[in-house]
Amino acid sequence: MNQEKKSYMKNRQRNIAILKRNRSLLKVTIVILAAGLSLSYLDRTNIGEPLIWLGVIIFVYAFFTGMIARLQLKSEK
């Protein structure tokens, strides 16, 4: 294989790995958000609010890295 093809395959594998990682990361984010919302509902806001913010930050990170990976996969075709 020539160098260009190898580079293409490495980039594609990296972007697919990012997408797979983000799927599992979003599942964890849902659990964190659910825990934060339930604790806030039970008047444990000192614990619940930081969990909600943590969940939002993780969600935003996973969303944008996934979007960038998808755009790179589409642009390579």
A 10 A CB-CB count for 59 gives 16
pLDDT digits (tens, 9 = 90+) for 13-53: 999 999 999 999 999 999 999 999 999 999 998 999 999 99
pLDDT higher at 75 or 67: 67
List C-alpha distances in Å: 22 to 39, 42, 65, 77.
25, 30, 8, 22
User: What does the alpha-carbon distance between residue 35 and residue 47 come to, in Å, rounded to a whole number?
Assistant: 9
pTM value is: 0.81
Q: Where are the domains of the chain?
A: 12-76
